[in-house]
Amino acid sequence: MKLFLPNARATNWLLIVGFCSIGYALYMRYLAVEQSTIGLACQAGLNTWLCFTRQVTIVLFTYSVFGWVALIVATLNLLRPSLVLFALALAAASCGVVLYNVGLSSFAAGLLVLSLARRAPEPD
C-alpha cells in the first residue's frame, strides 16, 4: 500500500505555495486591511490596485470564502488525493487562517494532514 506522499520536488513547490500565500495574506491583513490610513484613503475614493484588492479581501473574509474553499478542496483531496488539490487547499487554508477564517481553515488543514495517510490513487 503506497501512501499519498509528495516527493522532494513536489514538497518544495508546496512549501513555496504555502509561504507565498501566508506572506500575501499577512501583507493584506497588516498593511492593507488593518491600516487606518489606507482604509480612510480608500473610503475617501482613492482608486488604486491596493484599494481594490483590499475591498475584495474584505468581502471574501466577511463571507468566509477562504474557509469554505479550503474545506471543500481539502475534502476533495481527502477523497481523491492529488498535488494540485493539495496545493489549492493549502493556499486557501493559509489565507483563511491569517484572514479571520480560522475555524473552517484549520479544519481544512487537519483534513490535509489526514490526506497524507490516504492511499495514493492508482495510475490509469
Residue 45 maps to a domain: yes
Longest CA pairwise span in the chain (Å): 60
Q: What's the mean pLDDT in 52-77?
A: 96
Residue 97 maps to a domain: yes
Residue 13: the pLDDT is 97
Residue 34 maps to a domain: yes
Residue 121 maps to a domain: no
Contact 108, 89 (CB under 8 A): yes
Residues spanned by the domain of 64 = 8-115
Indicate if the pLDDT at residue 123 is higher than 90: no
Q: What's the mean pLDDT in 85-106?
A: 96
Residue 1: the pLDDT is 67
Radius of gyration of the chain from its Cα atoms, rounded to whole angstroms: 17
Cα(12)–Cα(26) distance, integer angstroms: 21
Residue 122 maps to a domain: no
Indicate if the pLDDT at residue 69 is higher than 90: yes
Residue 53: the pLDDT is 96
Residue 2 maps to a domain: no
In the chain, the number of structural domains is 1
What backbone phi and psi angles, to 5 degrees, belong to 3?
-85, 160
Grid cell 486557501 is found at 92
Residue 124: the pLDDT is 67
Residue 3 maps to a domain: no
| Confidence label for 2 from pLDDT (cuts 50, 70 and 90) | confident
Cα(74)–Cα(109) distance, integer angstroms: 8
Residue 120 maps to a domain: no
